[in-house]
Chain A
């Protein structure tokens, strides 16, 4: 079958199981867009290429499938960069396809030419520049293979315009041949035995469950292990939802804004079993005082993560699901009653400081998030932005379904929530999807409201609007003499902006309006937005001070302490 380069792209995407592509057309992809209507792929026209990359990423995270985004050469391609870096930091399987100027013009500074393979070298798992149509089928095959296997990640394919127009007798390869790419999936049996021995001997064992558990689809194995030996679990931000937060052994998130009792458990544990987390600095705080009592077992599919940030006593390289399946039979049932009751005491002390235990009429964001959780029964897919709103979501929405939280963890990309939620909603049309963002982050990709309407997505949006770039303001308040430099933020009337796009918009200023507004939005058939005008200077607590140890947290003052101070 003789196909054009453009047809080869779409035909190969169809064979890879792609159903959706997020993108924006342009001069260097005009052949691709010309061929698109011939193929059963839904193209979602975004309003900015950054949003296209985030949407593909959100789609990938919500479904576990590869997300695809497209952009033209030059500025279209450079606009993808933030989205690709976001996907790379969080190991999200994305394939980005960009148009490039014709091969004869490469290197001549042609109109809309940019070296996008050079630019994206450090933020992609791999990338390709295709200047010959003969190479195209194998490149696409390899790109999908690399994106979705091993430690997943984004792969970019830059295709010269003349390649899209050229034609070739098409044959899609069955196999890839990548001698330098052979991810280790099965853990070393001897090391797994040693890990079992360490777990069986531990008095105060603790699991850190990260994104790797979700990427491996190892949620059931994690739960089996946890219950068999009564092992408490701390999640990283991206590990949230790998074990139901309602589970008595789930301690929630650890780290900078983690639960104080989770961090205390980390610091007191005598054995840490890290499954698929990379010991990110937001989890560890200052490394020299991190888990001082513990032997560390680290399970990761990426050998480079072992010993990168924290020295490890026992590494196991492999896929979390395979490794746990091999490990569980070697684990002896145990109950660790003293350890678990000690953690229970710390947990009770934390609960006393919870702002939701305090009587206040103020509209605090924690209350909003908790009531979205109540109203949705915890079943919604939450897509959070970055900053205070992200931490409040992580703390007050108790996730119990796998892939229930989509958030930019590693890169911390503001503007992520709305476009990623578009991707998540398209990937999981049966689920209710909420985008939650601050007023700062929401304005960074607010143009995607048009995409929501054009694609008829029933997306629910909540803005936690405090009129500040709130997390930076919090730092300025606590560590920079209260000098609010560059953080007070003017926003539009978000409800009216939504209305202008044809989306029902609501503004909530009083606490007693929160529940009715959430219920009204949930009863709305299509999309809807609520602008929650919250307490301006509410902080995220608890908090590890920058450069501090996770055992030493700034806590929300207890009510009686506040009263004494007054």
Chain B
């Protein structure tokens, strides 16, 4: 089963390497990994999507905790959480197809962020499913480039992972 873990860590050189090295070394799987600053200066926040059974995920959490720079790990899989991913999709668009594409973009509440004579670049934010659906609808037009951030997660309401 897929699990979403949110980890907070000190923003020190090599921390990302420590985490990725840990996953490789322990033979844990990573589906996506996203990292950036958190609300606290000096603390980075990482969202990790990993698959495994209960025992695997427990090991992932415990091994992450063993890293000296990791301050907190939470499995938000079963929590009510806002889950988002951002994707940029560059799709082939001629004068004939442009309006069809933009209507799809509207339906998904996505945005056109760049227009070129033969392409459109679309920005979409949402769950992975939503991004997947738009991408699959755009595929017949010709997707030239696709960039996805991987999952970000935040527990709703007051039960967060504040440091």
Which residues of A are in contact with B by a Cβ distance under 8 Å?
Answer: 117-118, 121-122, 125-126, 129, 146, 178-181, 302-304, 306-308, 311
> Is there a chain A Cβ closer than 8 Å to B128's Cβ?
no
Neighbouring A residues of B55 by C-beta, 8 Å: 307, 311
Partner of B68, one of A118, A181, A307: A181
Neighbouring A residues of B25 by C-beta, 8 Å: 122
* B59 A304 Cβ-Cβ under 8 A: yes
Beyond A178-B68, A307-B58, list 15 extra A-B contacts (CB 8 Å).
A117-B14, A118-B17, A121-B14, A121-B17, A122-B21, A125-B68, A129-B13, A129-B14, A146-B68, A180-B10, A180-B70, A180-B71, A304-B59, A304-B66, A307-B55
When C-beta atoms are compared, the residue in chain B nearest to A305 turns out to be B62
When C-beta atoms are compared, the residue in chain B nearest to A123 turns out to be B25
When C-beta atoms are compared, the residue in chain A nearest to B22 turns out to be A122
Neighbouring B residues of A179 by C-beta, 8 Å: 10, 71
Instruction: State in angstroms the CA–CA spacing of A308 and B67 once bound together.
Output: 17
* A308 B59 Cβ-Cβ under 8 A: yes
Instruction: State in angstroms the CA–CA spacing of A300 and B158 once bound together.
Output: 33
Instruction: State in angstroms the CA–CA spacing of A118 and B13 once bound together.
Output: 11
Instruction: State in angstroms the CA–CA spacing of A180 and B9 once bound together.
Output: 8
> Is there a chain A Cβ closer than 8 Å to B63's Cβ?
yes
Give chain B interface residues in 57-105, CB to chain A under 8 Å: 58-59, 62-63, 65-71
A-B contact pairs, 5 of them (CB 8 A): A126-B68, A180-B9, A180-B65, A307-B58, A311-B55
> Is there a chain A Cβ closer than 8 Å to B18's Cβ?
yes
Neighbouring B residues of A308 by C-beta, 8 Å: 59
* A121 B18 Cβ-Cβ under 8 A: yes
Partner of A303, one of B9, B13, B18, B65: B65
Which residues of B are in contact with A by a Cβ distance under 8 Å?
Answer: 9-10, 13-14, 17-18, 21-22, 25, 55, 58-59, 62-63, 65-71
Return A493 CB to nearest CB of chain B, in Å: 43
Return A277 CB to nearest CB of chain B, in Å: 17
Query: Ordered nearest first, which 9 A-B pairs have the shortest CB separation?
Result: A304-B62, A180-B71, A126-B68, A122-B25, A181-B68, A179-B71, A180-B70, A121-B21, A303-B62
* B59 A180 Cβ-Cβ under 8 A: no
Partner of A304, one of B14, B65, B70: B65
When C-beta atoms are compared, the residue in chain A nearest to B59 turns out to be A308
Return A153 CB to nearest CB of chain B, in Å: 10
* A302 B66 Cβ-Cβ under 8 A: yes
When C-beta atoms are compared, the residue in chain B nearest to A178 turns out to be B68
* A180 B69 Cβ-Cβ under 8 A: yes
When C-beta atoms are compared, the residue in chain B nearest to A118 turns out to be B17
Neighbouring A residues of B66 by C-beta, 8 Å: 302, 304
Neighbouring B residues of A304 by C-beta, 8 Å: 59, 62-63, 65-66
Return A18 CB to nearest CB of chain B, in Å: 21
Instruction: State in angstroms the CA–CA spacing of A111 and B10 once bound together.
Output: 32
When C-beta atoms are compared, the residue in chain B nearest to A303 turns out to be B62
Return B11 CB to nearest CB of chain A, in Å: 12
Instruction: State in angstroms the CA–CA spacing of A128 and B67 once bound together.
Output: 13
When C-beta atoms are compared, the residue in chain B nearest to A155 turns out to be B68
Return A207 CB to nearest CB of chain B, in Å: 24
Instruction: State in angstroms the CA–CA spacing of A121 and B58 once bound together.
Output: 22
When C-beta atoms are compared, the residue in chain B nearest to A131 turns out to be B13
Neighbouring A residues of B59 by C-beta, 8 Å: 304, 307-308
Instruction: State in angstroms the CA–CA spacing of A308 and B62 once bound together.
Output: 10
Return A443 CB to nearest CB of chain B, in Å: 31
When C-beta atoms are compared, the residue in chain A nearest to B18 turns out to be A121
When C-beta atoms are compared, the residue in chain A nearest to B63 turns out to be A304
When C-beta atoms are compared, the residue in chain A nearest to B9 turns out to be A180
When C-beta atoms are compared, the residue in chain A nearest to B70 turns out to be A180
Instruction: State in angstroms the CA–CA spacing of A22 and B17 once bound together.
Output: 30
When C-beta atoms are compared, the residue in chain B nearest to A121 turns out to be B21
Instruction: State in angstroms the CA–CA spacing of A520 and B67 once bound together.
Output: 51
When C-beta atoms are compared, the residue in chain A nearest to B62 turns out to be A304
Instruction: State in angstroms the CA–CA spacing of A304 and B17 once bound together.
Output: 20
Instruction: State in angstroms the CA–CA spacing of A181 and B12 once bound together.
Output: 15
Neighbouring B residues of A303 by C-beta, 8 Å: 62, 65
Neighbouring A residues of B14 by C-beta, 8 Å: 117, 121, 129
Neighbouring B residues of A126 by C-beta, 8 Å: 68
Neighbouring A residues of B71 by C-beta, 8 Å: 179-180
Return B19 CB to nearest CB of chain A, in Å: 11
Instruction: State in angstroms the CA–CA spacing of A304 and B66 once bound together.
Output: 8
Instruction: State in angstroms the CA–CA spacing of A513 and B48 once bound together.
Output: 65
Return A149 CB to nearest CB of chain B, in Å: 11
Q: A121-B21, A129-B13, A311-B55 are in contact. Are A180 and B62 (CB under 8 A)?
A: no
Instruction: State in angstroms the CA–CA spacing of A3 and B65 once bound together.
Output: 36
Neighbouring A residues of B17 by C-beta, 8 Å: 118, 121
Return A175 CB to nearest CB of chain B, in Å: 16
Neighbouring A residues of B22 by C-beta, 8 Å: 122
Neighbouring A residues of B69 by C-beta, 8 Å: 180
Instruction: State in angstroms the CA–CA spacing of A405 and B68 once bound together.
Output: 30
When C-beta atoms are compared, the residue in chain B nearest to A150 turns out to be B66
When C-beta atoms are compared, the residue in chain A nearest to B42 turns out to be A179
* A180 B67 Cβ-Cβ under 8 A: yes
Instruction: State in angstroms the CA–CA spacing of A179 and B25 once bound together.
Output: 24
Instruction: State in angstroms the CA–CA spacing of A291 and B26 once bound together.
Output: 26
Return B53 CB to nearest CB of chain A, in Å: 12
Return B22 CB to nearest CB of chain A, in Å: 8
* A180 B68 Cβ-Cβ under 8 A: yes
Instruction: State in angstroms the CA–CA spacing of A310 and B71 once bound together.
Output: 27
Neighbouring A residues of B70 by C-beta, 8 Å: 180
Instruction: State in angstroms the CA–CA spacing of A470 and B107 once bound together.
Output: 73
When C-beta atoms are compared, the residue in chain A nearest to B58 turns out to be A307
Question: Looking at B17, B59, B68, B69, which has the most chain A CB atoms within 10 Å of its CB?
Answer: B68
Neighbouring A residues of B67 by C-beta, 8 Å: 180
Instruction: State in angstroms the CA–CA spacing of A118 and B20 once bound together.
Output: 12
Return A148 CB to nearest CB of chain B, in Å: 14
Question: Looking at A180, A303, A311, which has the most chain B CB atoms within 10 Å of its CB?
Answer: A180
Return B45 CB to nearest CB of chain A, in Å: 14
When C-beta atoms are compared, the residue in chain A nearest to B10 turns out to be A180
Instruction: State in angstroms the CA–CA spacing of A304 and B59 once bound together.
Output: 6
Neighbouring A residues of B58 by C-beta, 8 Å: 307
When C-beta atoms are compared, the residue in chain B nearest to A142 turns out to be B68
Instruction: State in angstroms the CA–CA spacing of A117 and B17 once bound together.
Output: 11
Instruction: State in angstroms the CA–CA spacing of A118 and B25 once bound together.
Output: 13
Neighbouring A residues of B62 by C-beta, 8 Å: 303-304, 306
Neighbouring B residues of A178 by C-beta, 8 Å: 68
